[in-house]
Structures are given as C-alpha cells and as structure tokens.
Structure 1
Amino acid sequence: MFNIQGIARIAFALGLASCFAQASAEELDPKAINIKLPEHINWVANPSGSESAVLVGDLSKPGLYVVLNKWKAHHNSKPHSHPNDRFITVISGTWWVGTGSDYKPDELKPVPAGSFVTHYGNEVHYDGAKDGDTILQIVGIGPATSTPAAKK
C-alpha cells in the first residue's frame, strides 16, 4: 500500500513531467530564435572537392560570415591565401593542413576534431582531407576571397 508521502511524491513527479512536456511542445518565437536542422542545411559542391553551406552572412560582401565546409576524402586545396583572418573549428574528421607556396601534400599535418585553428590574413596555406570526410566551421569577415599563391 502507498502512504500519503508516497502518493504525494508520485503526484509531484507526474506534475513536473507534465510541465516539461507542455513547455517542450510549445512553439518557439521565430523573432527570438532560428533553428536550422541538419536536413535543412543547403550544401553546395565546390570545384575543389569540398562542399560548403553558408549559415550566416554573404561571403562576397563585407561583414561577418559563418560557413560549414565539408572536405571530401582525398581532396586538397592548392596553396592560397585570404585577405582576412579566418577562425576554424574542426567539427568532425581529421583536417590536414600545410603552409607555404610549395605544395607538399605528403607533408600535411593532421588537425583532429575539436581543434581550433586561425588562418591569418594574406598568409599562404593549403588544406583538405585524406582518408575520410572532414567538416569545418569557418568564421570570418568578408569578403572571403581566395588568392592562389605565386608559384616558385
């Protein structure tokens, strides 16, 4: 048999669960928050063997941008630079990076998921993925142009 305290605890737990269920079922105010689920993120293929999805901003214009970049396995960029600093978080996979104008894909250094990298403006680098896909989040100030490095 249940005693009064046991019944009160059960009633409290059910009431609390009901409150949480009701709160999660309410609609969010679109003026306060915007959620983009993975299936609604628009990925666009790039000639370099990567895909990108612009989350915030316009890369061709001045201002803040946030982009997801997915490097497909066995694809790398050639040496290049960007005019502004870029701040990159490796979301998944291993990103492979190199610096300098001489393209040396065998000397790329691994950067594991969870790492944070800064690409400094006007400094030459190249990067990509080796055996598996890699997803990066890139944050910067546009315009986000890319300039190929002069060949030596």
Structure 2
Amino acid sequence: MERRSFLLSSMMTAFAAGAAEASPIEPRQTFVLQRNDIKFQPWTGLPPHSGEMAKLYGDFDKPGPYLVLMRWHPGWFSAPHSYATDRIQMVLSGTWWVNSGADFTPNMAVAVPAGGYVKRTARTFHYDGVQAGVKEPVTVAVFGLGPVDIILADPKRPPWRHV
C-alpha cells in the first residue's frame, strides 16, 4: 500500500511540475474565448429584447462555414422561413421550441431542452423560439455553410412573432 501511495504522490508531483512549465497558448494556433467573454449583439431587425447573436466563426451571409450562438428570449419566435443550406444546431442552455412547416402554430412546437440536437434541412420551412411564460432565454449553437439566403414563407408578415 505504501508503494502505491509513493507512486501516486510522485506522479502528481511530476504532473504539477510539468503544468507549471507549460508554455502560453499561441492565439494564431489555438484561439480560446471563455464563456464570459462572448459578446452577444442584438440581431439586426429584431424587436428589442427578443434575441441576440454572437458570431464566433465565419459569417452566414458569406460563402463558407459559420458558427454562431443565438439567444432567444421568452415570448419570441421566428416566422416560418427556410435556408439555402442545411443547419446543424445544439441547444446549450434553456429550452428551445421548434416546428416544421409554413403554418405558424407555436403551441404545436416541440420542446428541445439543453443538450438536444436539431438539424434543419435546406429549403424546408420551419420556425422556432421560446414560449411565453418561460423564465429563462435559450442559447443555441448554430453551424452551417453560408450564405444562408433566408426566405420567409409569408413575406407580407413580420419575420419575428411575439407569442
């Protein structure tokens, strides 16, 4: 038993010594942005206090891959819309409500809690948001290929809906 304790103690000392000598991260090789340093900005064209976005990589309006975080506030949904390319989404916090189709029926949306995955297929109508009465917003990570080329199912109606 003493030998195991000695080996474990020796390994921990060696590990701690190695960690103390670690070199700093080269940001051109490994970029790190801590959660508290991510800056969310209001979405252009959205009503105040309905949603924000943090662009982490690329731009969904330009060719190439992108990764954004979207934050939806309770009581707000997007109108039915589609994109030119597939979108892959992961719910990071809160609960997101999603549905398919051109008819806007948010009471029929499916709840996707934190840890859930959603894939949107290109040029299929869908909508999503957070039901009214919920206490916290939802944060969703969104990956895809730009440009997304959003098309509304009914361009005569607002693109964001308060429910």
TM-score bucket of the superposed structures, by smaller chain: 0.7 to 0.9
Task: Tell me what 2:76 maps to.
Answer: 75
Q: Where does 1:137-152 land on structure 2 (aligned, <5 Å)? A: 137-150=141-154
TM-score scaled by structure 1? 0.84
**How far 1:18 sits from its partner (Å)?**
3.6
**How far 1:95 sits from its partner (Å)?**
0.7
SS, match of residue 106 in structure 1:
helix
Task: Tell me what 1:108 maps to.
Answer: 109
1:86 and 2:87 matched: yes
Task: State the Cα deviation string for residues 6-42 of structure 1 (Å, max 9, x = none).
Answer: 9x66973673254144045x31122320001123222
Mapped to 2, the partners of 1:145 and 1:86 lie a distance apart of 12
Task: Tell me what 1:123 maps to.
Answer: 124
Letter in 2 for 1:133: P
**How far 1:60 sits from its partner (Å)?**
1.3
Letter in 2 for 1:140: G
Specify the structure having the higher radius of gyration (Cα).
Answer: 1
- In structure 1, stretches of 5+ residues that fail to align are none
Aligned CA RMSD, in angstroms, stands at 2.4
Equivalent pairs counted in the alignment come to: 147
Task: State the Cα deviation string for residues 87-120 of structure 1 (Å, max 9, x = none).
Answer: 0011111110111111112111111211111101
**How far 1:147 sits from its partner (Å)?**
1.3
Mapped to 2, the partners of 1:14 and 1:85 lie a distance apart of 47
Letter in 1 for 2:10: F
Percent identity for Structure 1 against Structure 2: 31
SS, match of residue 101 in structure 1:
coil
- Relative to structure 1, the CA distance from residue 15 to residue 109 in structure 2 (aligned partners, 3 Å threshold; closer, same or farther) is closer
TM-score scaled by structure 2? 0.79
Mapped to 1, the partners of 2:111 and 2:77 lie a distance apart of 13
- In structure 2, stretches of 5+ residues that fail to align are 157-163
Tell which deviates more after alignment, 10-19 or 109-118.
10-19
